[in-house]
Amino acid sequence: MLDNNTPNFGIPGSLVSQIPAGSGIIVMSGDEVIIEDNVITGNNNAGIIITSQDFVTEIASDTGSDPNPDKVQIRDNVMFANGASPRAR
């Protein structure tokens, strides 16, 4: 995931529109995810974000699902030069 700094293209009000530009890899509410053997560099906001559904503020959560990520593994990745211009919340 190299230099993923393209301006957000999501339709206003959609889930994608809530994702900050410059985010490398995002795991939102995923369980048993493995992020492995990647080169993650040059992403202005963050290299990896692990978050719950609460990250998205303008979209209603699915009350029937677990909003929190569980058992996420990050291993054997090369990461550098990420987070130089993080988006303020």
pLDDT at 43: 96
Enumerate the domain spans of the chain: 16-80
Per-residue confidence at 48, pLDDT binned at 50, 70, 90? very high
Strands (E), the chain: 23-28, 34-36, 39-41, 46-51, 73-75, 78-80
User: 75: burial class by Cβ within 10 Å (0-12, 13-18, 19+)?
Assistant: exposed
The confidence band for 89, taking pLDDT boundaries of 50, 70 and 90, is low
Helices (runs of H) and strands (runs of E) counted in the chain: 0, 6
Q: Which residue has the higher pLDDT, 50 or 89?
A: 50
The span from the CA of 70 to the CA of 33, in Å, is: 8
- Of 70, 80, 83, 82, whose CA–CA distance to 34 is shortest? 70
Which pLDDT band holds residue 88 (cuts at 50, 70, 90)? Answer: low
- Mean residue pLDDT of the chain comes to 88
pTM: 0.84
